[in-house]
Amino acid sequence: MQLRDLHIHWGSRTYIMAIVNATPDSFSGDGLLGSDEQATVRHAIEQSRAFIAAGADIIDVGGESTRPGAALVEAVAERGRVVPVIAAIRAALDVPISVDTWKASVAEAALDAGADLVNDVWGLRLPEGSWNTELARLVGARGVPIVLTHNRRARPSTGSQGGHYRAIQYTDLLGDIIRELRESVALAHDYGIQ
């Protein structure tokens, strides 16, 4: 796979995706979002430069926390968080940029701002479990790569314990994850995502 100047040959080495959290409530406590958009953007560029210097291959920008118990963010607010950061990183660095979102409108704006791929932590599913055909259609039409992650979330949130939702049950943990990821890949292929 080719992303800008980065030729990814899967299995040849480990590729590092560094995360820029344009959120106030990041799971790792490093969210950059503050009341001053210029400061947020400046910090994101500084952090991205440090990540690249430390060996990162891809910069991933997210505007909605995925920590257990985090509230969903409206698309307009999420776009307002990630688009200025992505545009600034794109202007400052020639590095592959990923947008961490499950919302098609956010992904579209991020791709227009300079992102090269979509990182969907819901694996082309909506948080309540139905298929996210709007995002699949967009990614297929734009011809960009997508990262599909397995995830389950209790809606409404029933609280978390030890970094996971208490209400989430698996019959066969690895078997369920593999099956659900294969379903996501099949949907991606149905929409022309390679």
pTM beyond 0.85: the answer is yes
Question: In whole angstroms, what is the distance from residue 113 CA to residue 187 CA?
Answer: 26
Amino acid at 27: F
The pLDDT tens digits for 107-145 are: 999 999 999 999 999 999 998 889 999 999 999 999 999
The pLDDT tens digits for 5-40 are: 889 999 999 999 999 988 876 555 455 555 577 888
- Cα-Cα-Cα-Cα torsion 40, 45, 47, 52, nearest 10 degrees, comes to 160
